[in-house]
Amino acid sequence: MSWRQLGFGVLATIATACGDVATPRDVTCGAQPVAVLPNGGFDLPTPPWVQDPVAPALLCGAPRITPVNPPSAACLGGIDGTTQTLTQSVPLPEGAKTLTLSGQICIDTAETAAVDHDIVQFDVLDGANVVAALGKSTNQQGVAGCQFKPFTLTAPATSDPVTATLRIRSTLDANMPTSFYIDGLSLTVGCTP
């Protein structure tokens, strides 16, 4: 029997059945935003935060810093001329419209110029593609010595892959270092426009 003998209805049913196969989602949308970030306190061994480079360690605690939620916090920067990255895989619900990252940040800087020399950037990625550019903080928001302060960053989602990657990346210039300490993170996804 050829495809011509099948008739349009049967062919459409076969195509629909193949098109219905979808990767199941670990989280679903509701009326309220859904939290998707595991280990936002940087304290649990699993799931681990991926560190690049692996040395020096990008997670620290006392006596270097007193985390908001001890024993650990993200500890980026501090070394002139470096780029450091922490990443964590997160599930996204189908229909994701907005992503909101909140937490605590402490920016300890030796920079004195009113210029963005040292930057920490927060993005959600699907491979190399940016799903949501959440925002950044710079040496200009820091002081010599610091205290943790709350922050909230929100961005629209350009797509909703089954899983994405939260990336925290610090980039420092070659003079006067800045340290970015981050703790108590929460990433929520909203599905209503």
Please indicate, yes or no, if residue 1 is contained in any of the structural domains. Answer: no
pLDDT tens digits along 40-89: 999 999 999 999 999 999 999 999 999 999 999 999 999 999 999 999 99
Check residue 43 and report its DSSP letter. Answer: -
Q: Is the peptide bond before 161 cis (omega within 30 degrees of 0)?
A: no
Please, what is the average pLDDT of the chain?
Answer: 88
Q: Backbone dihedral region of 81: left (phi > 0), alpha (psi from -120 to 50 degrees) or beta?
A: left
Bridge partner residues of 75 (DSSP): 181
Q: Which of 100, 39, 118, 47 is nearest to 73 (CA)?
A: 39
pLDDT tens digits along 88-108: 999 999 999 999 999 999 999
Q: Which two tokens stand for residue 104?
A: 């605590």
140: containing domain = 25-190
pLDDT band for 115, please (50, 70, 90 cuts): very high
Please indicate, yes or no, if residue 105 is contained in any of the structural domains. Answer: yes
pLDDT of residue 145: 85
Please indicate, yes or no, if residue 32 is contained in any of the structural domains. Answer: yes
pLDDT of residue 22: 62
CATH number at residue 111: 2.60.120.260
Domain count, the chain: 1
The residue assigned the tokens 């190399």 is 128
Please indicate, yes or no, if residue 9 is contained in any of the structural domains. Answer: no
**What is the chain's alpha carbon radius of gyration, rounded to the nearest angstrom?**
21
**Lowest-confidence region among 18-27, 130-139, 150-159, 164-173:** 18-27
- Residues 11-32 have a mean pLDDT of 61
Please indicate, yes or no, if residue 85 is contained in any of the structural domains. Answer: yes
Please indicate, yes or no, if residue 164 is contained in any of the structural domains. Answer: yes
pLDDT band for 20, please (50, 70, 90 cuts): very low
Q: Which two tokens stand for residue 25?
A: 């989602």
pLDDT of residue 12: 37
Please indicate, yes or no, if residue 12 is contained in any of the structural domains. Answer: no
Please indicate, yes or no, if residue 17 is contained in any of the structural domains. Answer: no
Bridge partner residues of 88 (DSSP): 166
Q: Reply yes or no on whether the pLDDT at 177 is more than 50.
A: yes
